[in-house]
Amino acid sequence: MKRRFIRMGAALALTASCVACARSDAEPANPDGGGLAGDAGSAGTPTGVAGAASSAAGTPQVPGPGGAGGAASSGGSASGGGPLGGAQAGTASAGAAASGVSGGAAGGGQASTGCGVMDHPLSGSATIDVGGNSREYILKLPDAYSASTQYKLVFGWHWRGGKASDVANGTLGGGPYYGLEKASKGTTIFVAPNGLDSGWANTGGRDIMFLKAMLALFESKLCIDQSRIFSTGFSYGGMMSDAIGCDMADVFRAIAPMSGALYSGCSKTNTQPIAVWMSHGASDDIVPLADGKAALDVFLEKNGCNAQTSATTPSPCVAYQGCSAGHPVTYCEFTGGHQPPTFASAAIWDFFNQF
């Protein structure tokens, strides 16, 4: 069944301040239930990526906060055209992590096989083959990255009409990677993937496959604490985070979708609970609040939470009660429209950092 969306009008500046003011340019919902045309700058389709058939639920067209017109770029392929974003890595050791590997900030974790690998990917734009298709992402290692230290791993997904470089450069949401890079103080590896068709429709599961390919590469070449892998994003990026929470709760420790919904799909075959921090503007006229709450309900059920809540910081967030141990659900319904809340960066980092 096709979803009804509100169509964005003229392209808007990609700043948090303009997200709230841009709502007056929205056009009425498509009476045919079609997707949004959206004039935001297109993220573009990487060369060689074949268009997949639309999924049974239709290919959702979710608007971002606007963007500059023109074809978007992910910053180009990695040096040498290789998938590692820099120096080509040799064969990774298939054995256990090297001895002497230190744990993350919260203590010993689950070291990836990439711990101890010295010929590792470098920060920058890169491509990776996913079923014969070239997909693009930006990798950011801590400035003092050490192959003997386990790092958290955070994926930051862009909104519709945005691109990986918007997340990496901090175009929206409080700084690079939605403000989390600064807060991490060198403890975290960040990834900004680039979507197809301006977003994360996840048609035929293509974006989940992209994610799995990136994870396989990073875990084999970088020193990652596999018990501390996280996802966040705004709008379509929030929807991709929701899809990850549904499909890969056995891999990810927590997700933090902002203004999300279930438009990127939600496989309920993975019954593993997952910690969730979620925000949504009460007057969101792009992704209806009801659709965001539908996603919330999925995770409340998944985590065994009850309907009772208690106030938590920052206001107006609430914490649901009765959730399974280690899998809290925090929900922040704030006064505002289709935008990340001003408190998101600090609140999301605090939520992730507790694990």
Tens of pLDDT, residues 220-259:
999 999 999 999 999 999 999 999 999 999 999 999 999 9
pLDDT score for 119: 95
CA pair distance 355, 350, nearest whole angstrom: 9
* pLDDT greater than 50 at residue 130: yes
* pLDDT greater than 80 at residue 75: no
Task: Annotate 37-58 with b (16+ C-beta within 10 A) or e (fewer).
Answer: ebbbbbbbbeeebeebeebeeb
Tokens of 226: 């596999």
pLDDT score for 108: 62
**Residue whose pair of structure tokens reads 């990836």 in the numeric block:** 112
pLDDT score for 102: 58
**CA distances for 348 relative to 38, 146, 264, 278, angstroms:** 28, 25, 21, 9
pLDDT (average), residues 26-42: 33
Tokens of 146: 């050490």
Sheet harboring 133-140: ordered strands across?
124-130, 133-140, 188-193, 151-157, 224-234, 254-258, 275-281, 329-334, 318-320, 309-311
**Residue whose pair of structure tokens reads 């791993």 in the numeric block:** 153
Q: What is the mean pLDDT of the chain?
A: 79
Instruction: Say if residues 266 and 205 touch (Cβ distance below 8 Å).
Output: no
pLDDT (average), residues 48-67: 39
* pLDDT greater than 60 at residue 94: no
Q: What is the pTM of this model?
A: 0.74
Selecting from 3.20.20.80, 3.40.710.10, 3.40.50.1820, 3.40.50.11540, what CATH number does the domain 6-45+58-91+101-353 have?
A: 3.40.50.1820
Would you place residue 37 in the very low, low, confident or very high pLDDT band (cuts 50, 70, 90)? very low
pLDDT (average), residues 194-201: 95
